[in-house]
Amino acid sequence: MAQSHSFLDSLNAAQLRAVLHEPAVPLQILAGPGSGKTKVLTSRISYLILHHLLPPSSICAVTFTNKAANEMRERLSKLIGKQRTSEVRMGTFHALCARFLRKFSKVVGIEGNFTVCDMEESKKIISGLLKPYNDFLASKDITLKDGTVLSFISKAKSKGLTAKAFVAEHTKANERKSSSDFDPQDDIQRLVGKIYHEYEKSLRRSNSLDFDDLLLFGVKLFAEHPPATSWCRHVLVDELYVASCTSRISLTAIGAPTGGCVTVVGDPDQSIYGWRSAEVGNLARMRKDFVGAEQIFLEENYRSTASILKASLAIVSQDKSRIPKTLLTSHPSGPTPVLRAFPSEHAEAAFIAVEIKRTVAYMGGVLRWGDFAILLRFSALSRAIESALQKEAIPSAVLGGHKFFERLEIKDLLAYLQLVDNPNFVPALTRAINVPGRGIGEKSITALIARADKTHASPLAVLERIHDAEQPDIRPAVKGKVGGFVKAVRVLRKLANEGASPPDLIRRLLELIGYEDHLKKTQPDWEGRWENVQELITFASEVEHDVNQAGGDLDLLGPSPTSDSDTPLRLFLQASMLSSEGDTQSDEDSKEKVTISTCHAAKGLEWPVVIIPAVEQGTFPFYRTDDVQEERRLLYVACTRAQSLLYLLHAAKRKVGGETKTKDLSEFVAAATKEHATIFTPRAAQFVPAERAVVARVLGRPEAPAAEVARRVAEFRKTARYLAGEADDAAQPAVAWHPALALPG
């Protein structure tokens, strides 16, 4: 009976057991990377729908990143078709909470048109709140950055601590200390408590929630308001172990009404968000939350060659506190992972570019640009690499780095639309009012907000009154300045109320404020920015299309208890705020480009070739970490993204923050190679026929014909000629060491 679904045929015995597992008994799947956890999850969803006949809209699938949600959506579409996939409530913890908070906002005491405040806006608010304390901080010789305060607040929120509780907890901790351990940190903590309190007030006044609030308020909603979760029959969570503590609580809350129909998958070895208060080794917690949870272990890795798996395991198993796990692969050994030193970051970058070219040539059509990923500990490491790739004319795209929605031009336009949707959202007003420049200074804006607070009106309403001459004490010059702004907002509001589509609203906005001209006048690279504006319009049409396809989605829950429901504009704004780069890049596009990503953002993804630069002390582990084992797991996550070729690179000298520093190889790798001398080699693959065959087999692609390989190699050798002369450091040319690159004559 079960076997009548053909997608079950491709599962191994343990995977099949997990998919067929009784839906009413909570299930925990624990397994290493590449063992098919995500595959099992998508198969289980399909089985719940096709065999147990659960309506797709009664299933909730949660992932950690948008990219992972997209990947899951894509895999699921192949199994159950696009229509049914679109009905499954799938998304990140944040996106799911946001959707339900819109619908049931009043229950948790917020307005349905709340705006999601992103990190940049949060930092701006905090920086404003810190201003009055600048002298105090300077007098104590303390530097306190807005980002630092925000991360304190975020940590407190992810533990579920309110501002009041934060201060109380801190005071308690101090009482335990004796007076002799006076700590200058106390001043900081006290101040952070104050700022936290003010920050919350400021968010509420703006009718906005930051990312952490989405989870906090979501948890509250799910826990206290049964109708918000009554639709749910089964919750499935991918990557439970990267999730924060609050996300896990919210899972419990969503899961509660299902009577324990919960499936979670995770790998404690890949827990990399400890700084977001996730805790490793917390298997017990879920078993307590969901009594009787069964565990299934998957032990076969389908992603990587045996040699990649061996090197990765050698790195992670240096953590002696780790629970040992079996992870096997039936794939052949394949080329040994490369570990290679370079004199400088430029030599390293040059190597990366040429090695990508060489590999593509020697694989004769089996690999393309999109099969390569360069995974970085932090995104600032990408600069030298990006220019080296550019020099070699290799197209690349940054994933999860500088986000599309964080770009100036995108934020400018979104600010107007946010203001149309939520006139209380101060950060949007502050931004939009001077786009294009209207010479309205900080003082005027502060006065405006103060007046709004006094009259219990939104700052925008106050501004409109000023404009309409209801305020005789305002100078005509000021009125003149705000004229264009007020007009634009009014036109847009009217259109939005009439149900205009977001792409149309954006087009109208561009006309109203003369945005193209503004970009031309103010931005030297305006053409690229104008392209991004067009991309925003495309994104808006896609959101519209998705919403229509999903058939109104939350309408299935019956009439909303709040008066205002989801407008097209609101849905678009929400999608933008919770998006990441991956969403605005088509898959066709990414196939043609080398991916540059942080290791964090690469979680759950896979590539045929993975290159990890800067595997050095200070980078791995990162010098500011307070959890070395988590850094080790992060390197493990990065290594296990690789299917057939893996490179770990490091430089003897690297420029960091304008200063050239001497660098040592990462202790993680040094320790692993001390114990297992042969897991790495300094020599990259020769790509003899046997090696080519393994790579093709692991990727499930046909082997390259010999003639094609020869043609591409000859072509590559022609262009590789310049390398000897142009290598960054003459003492150790970037690639000339490789016999395949020996130049004729």
- What is the layout of strands, in order, in the sheet containing 262-266? 89-92, 59-63, 234-237, 262-266, 27-31, 294-298
Backbone angles phi, psi at 368, to 5 degrees: -125, 175
Stretch that binds ligand ATP, among 36-44, 53-61, 148-156, 461-469 (CB under 6 A): 36-44
The number of residues making up the chain comes to 745
267 binds, among Mg ion, ligand ATP, none (CB under 5 to 8 A by kind): ligand ATP
Out of 100, 273, 302, 636, point to the residue binding ligand ATP (CB under 6 A). 302
Tell me how crowded residue 703 is: count the other CB atoms within 10 A of its CB. Answer: 17
> Which residue number, 30 or 417, has a Cβ lying nearer to ligand ATP?
30
> Which residue number, 30 or 163, has a Cβ lying nearer to ligand ATP?
30
Pairing of strands 372-376, 300-301: unpaired
How far, in whole angstroms, is CA 592 from its chain's centroid? 21
Q: How far is CA 475 from CA 266, 332, 442, 481, in A?
A: 62, 79, 17, 10
Out of 28, 38, 305, 458, point to the residue binding ligand ATP (CB under 6 A). 38
Interface with ligand ATP, residue 86, by CB under 6 A: no
Interface with ligand ATP, residue 39, by CB under 6 A: yes
Interface with ligand ATP, residue 431, by CB under 6 A: no
Stretch that binds ligand ATP, among 31-39, 89-97, 429-437, 683-691 (CB under 6 A): 31-39
> Which residue number, 35 or 252, has a Cβ lying nearer to ligand ATP?
35
Which residue is at the shortest CB distance from ligand ATP? 36
> Which residue number, 155 or 697, has a Cβ lying nearer to ligand ATP?
697
User: According to CB under 6 A, which residues from 541 to 600 bind ligand ATP?
Assistant: none
Stretch that binds ligand ATP, among 32-40, 95-103, 110-118, 608-616 (CB under 6 A): 32-40
211 binds, among Mg ion, ligand ATP, none (CB under 5 to 8 A by kind): none
412 binds, among Mg ion, ligand ATP, none (CB under 5 to 8 A by kind): none
Angle between helices 66-80 and 37-50 (to 10 degrees): 50
* Closest listed residue to residue 26, CA positions, set 246, 235, 274, 298: 235
Residue type, 172: K
**How many Å apart are CA 262 and CA 251, to the nearest integer?**
9
Interface with ligand ATP, residue 35, by CB under 6 A: yes
12 binds, among ligand ATP, Mg ion, none (CB under 5 to 8 A by kind): ligand ATP
Interface with Mg ion, residue 38, by CB under 5 A: yes
Q: Is 559 left (phi over 0), alpha (psi -120 to 50) or beta?
A: beta
**How many Å apart are CA 99 and CA 543, to the nearest integer?**
14
Shortest distance in whole angstroms from residue 113 CB to ligand ATP: 36
**How many Å apart are CA 592 and CA 371, to the nearest integer?**
8
* Closest listed residue to residue 276, CA positions, set 149, 403, 156: 156
Out of 604, 613, 621, 733, point to the residue binding Mg ion (CB under 5 A). 604
> Which residue number, 38 or 66, has a Cβ lying nearer to ligand ATP?
38
> Which residue number, 303 or 633, has a Cβ lying nearer to ligand ATP?
303
Number of residues located near ligand ATP, criterion CB under 6 A? 18
Stretch that binds ligand ATP, among 10-18, 152-160, 450-458, 536-544 (CB under 6 A): 10-18
* Closest listed residue to residue 392, CA positions, set 429, 365, 418, 360: 360
303 binds, among ligand ATP, Mg ion, none (CB under 5 to 8 A by kind): ligand ATP
Out of 14, 26, 27, 37, point to the residue binding ligand ATP (CB under 6 A). 37
**How many Å apart are CA 720 and CA 305, to the nearest integer?**
29
Are 238 and 604 in contact by the 8 Å Cβ rule? The answer is: yes
> Which residue number, 11 or 381, has a Cβ lying nearer to ligand ATP?
11
Stretch that binds Mg ion, among 442-450, 495-503, 595-603, 604-612 (CB under 5 A): 604-612
260 binds, among Mg ion, ligand ATP, none (CB under 5 to 8 A by kind): none
Number of residues located near Mg ion, criterion CB under 5 A? 3
Stretch that binds Mg ion, among 311-319, 498-506, 603-611, 726-734 (CB under 5 A): 603-611
Interface with ligand ATP, residue 158, by CB under 6 A: no
246 binds, among ligand ATP, Mg ion, none (CB under 5 to 8 A by kind): none
> Which residue number, 5 or 655, has a Cβ lying nearer to ligand ATP?
5
Which residue is at the shortest CB distance from Mg ion? 38
Out of 23, 26, 34, 112, point to the residue binding ligand ATP (CB under 6 A). 34
Report the b/e string of 331-355 with b at 16+ CB within 10 A.
beebbbbbbbbbbbbbbbbbbbbbb
Strand-pairing partners, residue 662, are 653
* CA-based torsion, 411, 417, 418, 424: positive or negative: positive
11 binds, among ligand ATP, Mg ion, none (CB under 5 to 8 A by kind): ligand ATP
Interface with ligand ATP, residue 11, by CB under 6 A: yes
44 binds, among Mg ion, ligand ATP, none (CB under 5 to 8 A by kind): none
In the chain, % helix, strand, coil (3-state, to 5) comes to 55, 10, 30
Interface with ligand ATP, residue 170, by CB under 6 A: no
> Which residue number, 186 or 299, has a Cβ lying nearer to ligand ATP?
299
**How many Å apart are CA 534 and CA 407, to the nearest integer?**
13
Are 37 and 68 in contact by the 8 Å Cβ rule? The answer is: no
Residue carrying the six token digits 């009043």: 106
> Which residue number, 125 or 698, has a Cβ lying nearer to ligand ATP?
698
Shortest distance in whole angstroms from residue 604 CB to Mg ion: 4
- Residues tagged in the binding site annotation for ATP: 31-38
Site string for ligand ATP, 600-629 (x = CB under 6 A): ----x-x-----------------------
Residue carrying the six token digits 């399909």: 46
Are 203 and 422 in contact by the 8 Å Cβ rule? The answer is: no
Interface with ligand ATP, residue 303, by CB under 6 A: yes
Strand-pairing partners, residue 616, are 665
Shortest distance in whole angstroms from residue 37 CB to Mg ion: 5
Pairing of strands 607-612, 294-298: unpaired
* Closest listed residue to residue 372, CA positions, set 690, 380, 358, 384: 358
Strand-pairing partners, residue 598, are 376
User: According to CB under 6 A, which residues from 258 to 287 bind ligand ATP?
Assistant: 267, 270
Are 46 and 76 in contact by the 8 Å Cβ rule? The answer is: yes
Shortest distance in whole angstroms from residue 606 CB to ligand ATP: 6
Name the H helices within 363-498: 382-391, 408-421, 426-432, 442-455, 459-467, 476-497
> Which residue number, 34 or 733, has a Cβ lying nearer to ligand ATP?
34
3-state secondary structure of 61: strand
15 binds, among Mg ion, ligand ATP, none (CB under 5 to 8 A by kind): ligand ATP
**Which positions touch ligand ATP (CB under 6 A)?**
10-12, 15, 31, 33-39, 267, 270, 302-303, 604, 606
Binding site for Mg ion (CB under 5 A): 37-38, 604
